[in-house]
Amino acid sequence: MIAWLLLANCGLANAATETDPSLERSVKAAFLYKFLNFASWPVASFAEPSSHFVIGVLGSDAIATELGKLAADRPASGRPVDVRIVKRGESLAGLHVLFVGRAETGYLSSLTEKAQQQSVLLVSESDRGLNLGSAINLVVVDGRIRFDVSLDAAERFGVRLSSRLLGVARSVRTGPE
Amino acid sequence: MKPIWPQSLEGRVVAVVLIATFFALTVAMAALAIYDARAYRDAVTADLTTQAEILGRTNVPALTFDDVQAAQENIALMRVRPTMNSVALYKPDGRLFASYGRDTFGVMPSQTLVDSAGTRIDGQEIVLVQPIIESREKVGTIVLRASYEWQQRLASYFVILITVMVASLGIALLVTSFLQARITKPILSITGVARKVVDEGDFSLRVDRTGTREMDVLVDAFNRMLIEVGEQTEALAASNRFLESEMAVRRRAEEALRAADKNKDQFLATLAHELRNPLAPLLNGVAILRLPSRTEAESAKVVSMMERQVKQMVRLIDDLLDVSRIATNKLVLRMAPMDLRDAANAAVETLAPFIRDRRHTLHVDVPSTPVPIIADSTRLAQVFANLLHNAAKFTEPGKEIRLTVSSTPEGIRVVVKDNGIGFEPSMATKIFQLFEQADQSLERVQAGLGVGLTLARRLVELHGGTLEARSEGRGRGSEFVVALPATNPAVPQADTAPTGRGNQLLSRVLIVDDNVDFALSLSTLIRTYGSEVRVANDGMDGLAKAKEFLPQIAFLDIGMPKLNGYDLARRLRQLPGLENCVLVAVSGWGQAEDRRRAQEAGFDHHLVKPVERDQLAQLLGGPRSPA
């Protein structure tokens, strides 16, 4: 367990290189996992108090795999975390976070309505991500993974983001662009 | 240690208070310092822990999302805390994530970070290492280094201690100075009184009570001691005073005795001289009478001269005896109603030959009517005679002497005035003292025993009167004034006045005396009255002669061989036929005691040698002899 932790942290610590796509993926997976701690969902999002967090990954199986490894036996905010690979057109029901890979960026805008209904936090990794409707958009700055936040979008999704999270965001967008 | 302690009590009280204050303060400050050091450390630790907690918590997102810049900005806020020297954030793997402050931080092995969690003091700094936990997951470690200024704190504590100490000691000194009087004042008051007592010797001083129990015990004890010492000192002083006055009295008595002794020596010398004086003419007279060729006229002249000399001696000795009686209060006056003029005339008669010899002119001025008085006529005559004799003696021949008798309702005055040598007024009372003479020089014209005036004054006083001497000064004459009360107070009558048996002459007379000459002379004298006289020269002989002769009157000497006068008198009284015999004791002793013993032995009368013819005549019932 400790060895794994060290490994995970090592991965995060070394997240400063574009030349290593696997590292980038693992850092992004870690970010996805950690967003759970800095966001809160409506009570209705959980069937019962012990219900699992479910993170859906669309268009990036590598990250899903990475996230699956990371979240196994590692609950966030007291809830076990499940990872689900989502295909285009699949229902978003039961999801709490949906990561939309770069490959599926174009499909992002079509997901927003469903996400708003299901209170699913949409996270993207495209420069146009926020514009396309995601609440958090992961970017690489100076070889480091950073993220931008759209409070407006998050509000629409019904997810409240912690101010502490906003404190470390690269930029926080409060109104519609 | 001695020189350090103050000498005075106040100083010591103050010193004790200051020392106690000093130690109490030191201990209190030390305790306070220790407490404060702990509190300071705890406070600093708590503060640091809180800071670490807040900083850690704040940096959780930065650590989580690897935002170095945010972390840097967060910890840079510590610049508002000057005591915070440096802050470092480590990733869980030991990599330095962000730092602030002067210290440089390197990579720390994560195991070291885990092990060194907690606080430790590192010289002037306190170091806190604390893991940052978020959702039960360690996201990093925060290291804080803050100033831990215990030395400055200690130093400032020391400054405070010194300041407080000085202030406290100052206040203690002030307060003690005011309050110490409550303790020291009673002691000082005792000390003060004690010093005063020692200095002034005044034991009447007392110390006031103070209200402190122990001090009051001391004060009471001290006061009691003072009272006791005072009393003893007073007693000692009183006994000293008593002894001093006793000494003075004794010294005075001694001086008086010495003076009296001196007077007595003087008197004895004078007495010897005066007694010897008549002896030369007497011896001359005896020699003349033995001369076969003497004429009858010569003999008569010599005999009269001898009689005068003898009378002078008798007078002298009589005076002495009288003085002795007065001195022992045994002189008895035979008081009887009389005419004072008789006494005056008797004195003038007695002294007339002497005054003639001195070629004085005597003026006698007496009232023509009787001057009645109750007195002892013989003694009064003696007084006047003494005064006249004195005047005649101490006045140069050929002057005037005046005797004046005057009677007033207040009393009788008899004045003897002369224009003789007189005396200093200061001597007015002294000349009446026994054996005193105004002129003590050897060249004095007239000698005397110095008893005449004393005797005169005492006799006058016995009559209830006074005798005073006056003189204008030496060489200006003198005046002696006798003042007698008009009617004297009743004076007891004399007990044994010699009385004769009517006018009948006692014809059988027995004389018993071992002094053959006296017996012979007395018998010759008595025979002149026509009585038959027998003489015996001792007691036994006298007894035998009395049995045979049956005398009507017997003159018995007291001191005799074989049978003394008293015993002889008792034996005679028991003889038949002698019950009515008049027994007359004749002795040289005329004291009251002698008279009393004579009376007890059965004597009717007591005569003192030499026996005057008048007395004889009275006793024998014969006619009074011419003066």
Q: B66, B136, B146: which is closest to B98 by C-alpha?
A: B66
Looking at the fold, whether B282 and B362 belong to one and the same domain comes out as no
Q: Give the end of a domain, one of B279, B301, B331.
A: B331
Dihedrals φ, ψ of B252, to 5°?
Answer: -60, -45
Mean pLDDT, residues B343-357 taken together: 85
Looking at the fold, whether B429 and B546 belong to one and the same domain comes out as no
Residue B4 confidence (pLDDT) above 80:
no
Residue B494 confidence (pLDDT) above 70:
no
**Nearest chain A alpha carbon to B58:** A164
Which range among B7-11, B15-19, B246-250, B417-421 has the greatest average pLDDT?
B246-250
Mutation target vs B (from A7, A9, A138; most B CBs, 10 A cutoff): A9
Higher pLDDT, A19 or B601: B601
Triad B72, B75, B79: Cα angle to 5°: 120
In a domain, B253, yes or no: yes
Looking at the fold, whether B542 and B468 belong to one and the same domain comes out as no
Looking at the fold, whether B384 and B523 belong to one and the same domain comes out as no
B408: CATH: 3.30.565.10
Rounded to an integer, what distance in angstroms lies between the CA atom of residue B131 and that of residue B101?
20
Write the ipTM.
0.81
> Across the interface, which of B62, B65, B93 has its CB nearest the CB of A31?
B65
B312: CATH: 1.10.287.130
| Cβ–Cβ contact A174 with B under 8 A | no
Band (A148; pLDDT cuts 50, 70, 90):
very high
Looking at the fold, whether B353 and B474 belong to one and the same domain comes out as yes
In a domain, B465, yes or no: yes
Mean pLDDT, residues A132-150 taken together: 90
In a domain, B496, yes or no: no
pLDDT at B490: 40
pLDDT at B2: 52
* Residues of B with Cβ-Cβ distance to A77 under 8 angstroms: 135
Dihedrals φ, ψ of B253, to 5°?
Answer: -60, -40
Domain boundaries, position B565: 508-620
In a domain, B602, yes or no: yes
Q: What is the average pLDDT value for chain B, to the nearest integer?
A: 82
Band (B1; pLDDT cuts 50, 70, 90):
very low
Query: What is the per-residue pLDDT across B242-263, written as a single tens digit (0 to 9) for each?
Result: 999 999 999 999 998 888 888 7
Pairing of strands B361-365, B336-339: unpaired
Looking at the fold, whether B448 and B387 belong to one and the same domain comes out as yes
Mean pLDDT, residues B599-624 taken together: 76
pTM: 0.45
Residue B486 confidence (pLDDT) above 80:
no
Rounded to an integer, what distance in angstroms lies between the CA atom of residue B360 and that of residue A170?
179
Rounded to an integer, what distance in angstroms lies between the CA atom of residue A97 and that of residue A37?
12
**B402, burial (CB in 10 Å: exposed 0-12, middle 13-18, buried 19+):** middle
Looking at the fold, whether B393 and B257 belong to one and the same domain comes out as no
Looking at the fold, whether B72 and B150 belong to one and the same domain comes out as yes
Rounded to an integer, what distance in angstroms lies between the CA atom of residue B625 and that of residue B428?
39
Query: How many angstroms away from the CA of A119 is the closest CA of chain B?
Result: 23
Count how many domains chain B has: 4
Residue B55 confidence (pLDDT) above 80:
yes
In a domain, B303, yes or no: yes
| Cβ–Cβ contact A7 with B under 8 A | no
Q: What is the average pLDDT value for chain A, to the nearest integer?
A: 83
Q: Are A23 and A15 in contact (CB under 8 A)?
A: yes
Mean pLDDT, residues B69-75 taken together: 88
Query: What is the per-residue pLDDT across B437-448, written as a single tens digit (0 to 9) for each?
Result: 544 444 444 445
pLDDT at B246: 92
Residue A78 confidence (pLDDT) above 50:
yes
Higher pLDDT, A26 or B271: A26
* Residues of A with Cβ-Cβ distance to B95 under 8 angstroms: 13
Query: How many angstroms away from the CA of B106 is the closest CA of chain A?
Result: 16
Mutation target vs A (from B57, B63, B66, B72; most A CBs, 10 A cutoff): B66
In a domain, B209, yes or no: no
Task: Provide the 3-class DSSP secondary structure of residue B224.
Answer: helix
Query: How many angstroms away from the CA of B136 is the closest CA of chain A?
Result: 9
- The percent of residues above 90 in pLDDT, for chain A, comes to 28
Looking at the fold, whether B343 and B477 belong to one and the same domain comes out as yes
Give the rounded distance of the alpha carbon of B600 from its chain centre: 49
pLDDT at B436: 58
Verify whether the Cβ–Cβ distance B93 to A145 is below 8 Å. no
Question: What would the CATH number be for the domain defined by A2-173?
Answer: 3.40.50.2300
Q: Are B341 and B348 in contact (CB under 8 A)?
A: no
Q: B339, B433, B425: which is closest to B377 by C-alpha?
A: B339
pLDDT at A9: 43
* Residues of A with Cβ-Cβ distance to B66 under 8 angstroms: 12-13, 15, 27, 144-145
The token duo for B255 is 């001086």
Looking at the fold, whether B417 and B470 belong to one and the same domain comes out as yes
Q: Give the end of a domain, one of B331, B360, B389.
A: B331
Query: What is the per-residue pLDDT across B512-559, written as a single tens digit (0 to 9) for each?
Result: 988 888 888 888 888 877 788 888 888 888 888 888 888 888 998 888
Q: Give the range among A128-132, B240-244, B433-437 with minimum mean pLDDT.
A: B433-437
Looking at the fold, whether B280 and B385 belong to one and the same domain comes out as no
B602: CATH: 3.40.50.2300
In a domain, B113, yes or no: yes
Looking at the fold, whether B359 and B326 belong to one and the same domain comes out as no
Chains A–B, number of C-beta pairs less than 8 Å apart: 42
